[in-house]
Chains A and B, each alone.
Chain A
Amino acid sequence: MSEPQRTPFVDSQLEAAAQARLPGSSIGWLQAARRENLDAFAASGLPDTRMEAWKYTALRALGQRHFASGDEQAASRAVDASAFALPGIDGPALVFVNGVFRADLSRIDALPAGLDLQPLSQALQGDAEPLRFALSRHYREGGDVFARLNAALAGDGVVLRVAAGAKIAQPVHLLFIGAPGEVDLAWHVRHVIELGEDAELSLIEHHASSGDQQHLGTQVADIVLRKGARLRQVTLQDAATGSTLVRHDSVQLDAQAQASLYVLELGGALVRHDLHANLAGDRSRLETRGVFVLGGRQHVDTQMAIRHQALNTSSESVWRGVADQRSRGVFRGAIVVAEGADGSDASLSSKNLLLSGQAEIDTKPELEIYADEVKASHGATVGQLDERSLFYLRSRGIPLAEARSMLTAAFCRAVFEPLPEEGLREHLYHQLMAHLPSA
């Protein structure tokens, strides 16, 4: 193997690691994991597009950039979190500014019974043993370079546990605000989420920005659903236009567990989302429903990998992409039905709309089946707005620009229809409409 290039990016992060004062530094296994992941990061550097997982997302420009670590001011920056309130969502909330937990902006004083919710920085001061499994992970997959970096440098994040049988009525709001600083910053958050047997939770992951900035944020989340647990998660990604955001989610579903994951990708200059789900228990069920709406020179890359590992598991994935101007969307949906996962049912639909001749969308559904009696289907399209429909709307008096946004919104809208929280659903529609080209 050739020696990886030491880019300014890698150097700046190694420098950051040398200076970092991370919580939990007295925990031996944690320090060992941090070191091992950092060494792996230093050894691999950033991947290039010859690597399959990064084929459509070039990191050359990122490699030339320098990010300072840890925002010293994050704890005191004036940020109006109420600007990011979501309709009907007024339950527990954890708020982070540039990756640093802000108790003053959060709501965790009166948590419902059965819900344990705290920032990672705090959890590491207590008994860290329950976090050991998740935080000892070594990211050995070639493409997991940001997960390695995150494992080495994350000092905060969300630790959330729902006790067996607890049904948490109010959705939990996790808000990550990127705030402009004096320099470009790199921040890293690490989440450990577990729902006990038959527990139920509705979770909102919300990335927002209090002003223009070009930070790099990374997030790694491990989510485990024990037998019969039910999770509904809505991710609203509305990061700053110039920012880079890399998320790496792993979801494990034990028997009869159910997860419904909704994703709306709107912001960011360079956004990468890896979503790995493992249907590990019999009759577990996963639903993923996502939309990206891109403009300018945005680049958003979603890499979804679903593994059916047990009997009678099912997954349904519905994704819609819209790209305007010179933006680029990438969607890869890989579904594996492993040997022995008989009676499984997998469907994947990726439909995409190009609103400009310079926009590009690459979609790639992959299906590998090694089991028997499997029902599987997938479909992917990339197209343009239907001229006949456009003319029909215009012939009734609706101006071209409005007709285009009406049809584009309709194209995306069905994705969020099953979302039961009405206020939140309407909010997603409005956000989506606001990002569509209007003129």
Chain B
Amino acid sequence: MLKIENLHARVEGKDILKGLTLTVNAGEVHAIMGPNGAGKSTLGNVLSGRDGYEVTEGSVTFNGVDLLALEPEARAAAGVFLAFQYPVEIPGVNNTYFLRAALNAQRKQRGERELDSMQFLKLVREKLKIMQISDELLHRAVNEGFSGGEKKRNEIFQMAVLEPKLAILDETDSGLDIDALKQVAQGVNALRSAERGFLVITHYQRLLDYIEPDFVHVLADGRIVESGDKTLALKLEEQGYAWVTDKDPVLHGASA
């Protein structure tokens, strides 16, 4: 589904991703772990099309389409969803209105019929159950005055309504206490399916106790330096990132 090959990207003239290669198939959950500054958030931003990220080499295809050639809104319509590390507060834009506009914009781009307000409301009611979000959040402005946990749950709720093919979770665990973390993970798990791929970007192993990955990759200095199954995450937790970076001849050589 998602095929990243030899991806190089820079931000403000600084090379961040330096040859990242990764394939995510439908139904798989991939965790990307790595130390601060490794390029984890850059990966999420490049995939979702944020301005200011320049791809200098490599390719990203999504179901055979050149993802990097698409505008952010077209990527969303194609089925890519980014759950933000820091969801943006948008005063004056009602949460429900926003979500309906987003869903219908995607449907329109895909040539599907837009949902009327009754159909949309029905969909929202179904999804609310999954996320255990209170009605009240829906009537407020997007993320405005939401607690950290509410913001992250709202991200997952949006994901539930938009039903992407690929969900990228950018440090969704940051700033969450254990209860909020469990709620968010529960929401994500409810959305796991054979048709959907997940890219879970995280600094800590903690989140992976609740969202069990099929694959774990270590991102260091812009490349994937180690891949394995979920036991890799546990090993990292025990031994720290130095264990993999020391093993890598390039990184080790650079720091020596």
Contact = CB atoms under 8 A, between A and B. Distances in A.
B116 interface: no
A389 interface: yes
Interface string A19-45: 000000000000000000000000000
A255 to B, nearest CB: 36
Interface residues of A, number: 23
A392 B103 CA distance: 14
A139 interface: no
B76 A389 contact: no
Nearest to A392: B88
Contact of A406 (B73, B91, B93): B93
Interface stretch (A46-54, A152-160, A397-405): A397-405
Interface string B89-109: 011110000110111011001
B50 interface: yes
Contacts of B49: 394-395
A400 B93 contact: no
Interface string B208-231: 000000000000000000000000
Contact of A396 (B50, B51, B76, B141): B76
Interface in A117-141: none
A182 interface: no
A86 interface: no
Contact of A393 (B82, B91, B98): B98
> Chain A contact residues: over half helix, strand or loop, or mixed?
helix
Interface in A395-432: 395-400, 402-403, 406-407, 409-411, 413-414
Contact of B162 (A387, A397, A414): A397
A300 B91 CA distance: 26
B93 A407 contact: yes
B151 to A, nearest CB: 11
A397 B79 CA distance: 9
Contacts of A402: 101, 105
A393 B48 CA distance: 12
**Could you say which of A394, A396, A400 has the most chain B C-beta atoms within 10 Å of its C-beta?**
A396
Contacts of A414: 91-92
A395 B51 contact: no
A293 to B, nearest CB: 15
Contact of B90 (A387, A392, A397): A392
Given A394-B72, A397-B162, A387 B51 contact: yes
B139 to A, nearest CB: 14
Nearest to A403: B73
Given A410-B93, A414-B92, A397 B48 contact: no
Interface in A155-211: none
Given A399-B71, A406-B101, 7 more contacts: A391-B50, A391-B88, A394-B73, A395-B49, A395-B73, A395-B75, A396-B98
